[in-house]
Chain A
């Protein structure tokens, strides 16, 4: 059993290192992954590497411009923005990854089920998902977040509801074409059960497209989280948080202190951009029709 998992991981690692050979798409994956890994490592290590406390008030003068002692300046409360940037990604990363996990765990099985069964399950499910899909996502997320209240899990749920239909649709459409293919027919003839066919035969084959959606989706989730926090629906204003810092820097920026908004904004862009690069690159690598 162990040996089998080894032999599965090794190709994955090899795949990663051969990515640059796949042209622009492969390079995008590598660059995106590098950005994400650096940001995640920075966030995890933040207790040890921030030069000052990210939450202590008045470590410097209020709204001080970037200088040698405060490389990114200070905010209205005299907090060190540089330290807040190093530590401020954790909430966003937790919420975004949890949201994507929820999407995956709900969207993929429902998509498999709907694609494989006809009418009775597929009809109502598709209708429900289409209604959700057609809805302005952020508006729905605001409503859910407002009702559920603050918290990492609540925010993740609010964001997940918006994106579950995307997973559902992609998986469902893939299953629809795949279930007619000879290899599925073969398993059916051998007497394989429905669950076996769904999860052991079809599921591994839809994973590639789910991976593409998931990585683009993390980017969306990051941006949505930042947006909800910006609107005042964030998890906890006491923790350093990029989204909250943008919201909080607004007044200072109108008075000319651009650094209070610019740096947290750039951090969000970097994180979302990293995931977008991974997703875009993956879709190009995995879709040979786009490659020439």
Chain B
């Protein structure tokens, strides 16, 4: 199969997945016991007002019509109208997204660095004390709820030692981006925006706010990378070409990195794609802990407000995002390792 036809097949396979997902979310919100509108407003609201709100939100028509409207809306990028402020969900979710994206990218960097480095070290001395310590570290980190890890960091670095901020994304000004080749660019990623504006102070401020949440979330995810790197390295190091390389008298370093890691790293890429979902889930808890105004905070606020349309919108957004990311990762993987395509 050529790369092109692989991409087309893989992309086509994403469609039913996304469609099912979107349907599941719709069913969860509408079909599970409980009337979303009634739950939101509580029992004291008078029936006429309730009916009015239902009508304005399109909840008074039969379920299949609602479903039809919902799907058609999705094709137009419309995630519905939120109960709480009667405003469209899409712009709200989109404006919260850069915060989550910045947190996720930073965490992914921490996770891959820590996981791969420790995984290689662990596999190099299989069964040694170092291997055991690293594996215990992996098991412990994975068992620590990410929000608890975040709280420990806040307790140590913000409350006790005042080295880093305890939460939020900035303490100076909101970075507003800058002009690049005559075009004004504002990404909502504060590190990039501050650099575009050429404001180093704001950049350092944004990075300082990123350190604690990214380390907390990154360490949590790193356990997965650690495990996968370790087992892949062990497998790669057990191959005959590695024995052959050793027999030829190559330096252990060369054997480890050029022969072992190069082949052991590919699956790490797949895991990056798979773990993206876990990263987003962790981001919700991390955002809550660090007062980070991303989609996680948006969902939690929606849950507190019992705003089911907002929950539905944010969840659908998350789902589509994950599907697209895993599509991209799969394509990348097929490009790097042609065996996948056959």
Which residues of A are in contact with B by a Cβ distance under 8 Å?
A: 24, 127-128, 130-132, 134-140, 142-144, 146-149, 219, 223, 226-227, 230-233, 246, 250, 253-254, 256, 258, 261-262, 265, 268-269, 272-273, 276-277, 280, 290, 292
Contacts and interface: CB of A to CB of B under 8 A. Distances in A.
B190 interface: no
B277 to A, nearest CB: 4
Interface string B1-42: 000000000000000111011001100110011101000000
B277 A227 contact: no
B336 interface: no
A253 B155 contact: yes
Interface stretch (B44-52, B66-74, B112-120, B298-306): B298-306
Contact of A246 (B21, B151, B160, B300): B151
Given A254-B159, A269-B144, A277-B139, 19 more contacts: A24-B132, A127-B16, A127-B20, A135-B319, A135-B322, A138-B284, A147-B28, A147-B32, A147-B34, A230-B285, A231-B285, A232-B300, A246-B151, A250-B289, A254-B166, A256-B159, A258-B160, A276-B143, A290-B234
A250 B285 CA distance: 13
Given A137-B281, A139-B281, A273 B140 contact: yes
Contacts of A265: 144-145, 148, 151-152
B284 A276 contact: no
Nearest to A230: B147
Contacts of B29: 143, 147
Contacts of B166: 254
Nearest to B20: A131
Nearest to B227: A280
B154 A134 contact: no
B303 A232 contact: yes
Nearest to B274: A134
B215 interface: no
Contacts, number: 153
A144 B20 contact: no
A130 B33 CA distance: 25
Interface in B65-121: none
Interface string B273-308: 000011011101100110000000001100110101
A28 to B, nearest CB: 8
B257 interface: no
A273 B139 contact: yes
A211 B62 CA distance: 44
Contact of B143 (A128, A147, A233, A272): A272
Given A146-B306, A148-B32, A269-B144, A138 B285 contact: yes
Interface string B120-136: 00000011000010010
Nearest to A157: B32
* Consensus secondary structure, chain A interface: helix
Residue among A147, A219, A226, A246 facing the most chain B CB atoms (10 A cut-off): A147
Contacts of B335: none
Contact of B32 (A24, A130, A144, A254): A144
A140 B315 contact: yes
Interface in B306-325: 306, 308, 311-312, 314-315, 318-319, 322-323
Give the one of A130, A136, A256, A290 with max B CB within 10 A: A136
A6 to B, nearest CB: 35
A226 B17 contact: no
Interface residues of B, number: 59
Identify the 5 closest CB pairs spanning chains A and B, nearest first.
Answer: A138-B281, A265-B148, A273-B143, A272-B143, A131-B20
Contacts of B33: 148
B259 interface: no
Contacts of B160: 256, 258
A139 B145 contact: no
A277 to B, nearest CB: 6
Contacts of B229: none
29 contacts: A24-B135, A130-B17, A131-B24, A132-B24, A136-B277, A136-B281, A139-B319, A142-B303, A142-B315, A147-B32, A147-B308, A227-B146, A230-B285, A231-B288, A231-B300, A232-B300, A250-B151, A253-B155, A258-B159, A258-B160, A261-B152, A262-B152, A268-B145, A269-B144, A269-B148, A273-B140, A276-B142, A276-B143, A280-B135
B194 interface: no
A231 B299 CA distance: 10
Contact of A139 (B16, B18, B144, B318): B318
B326 interface: yes
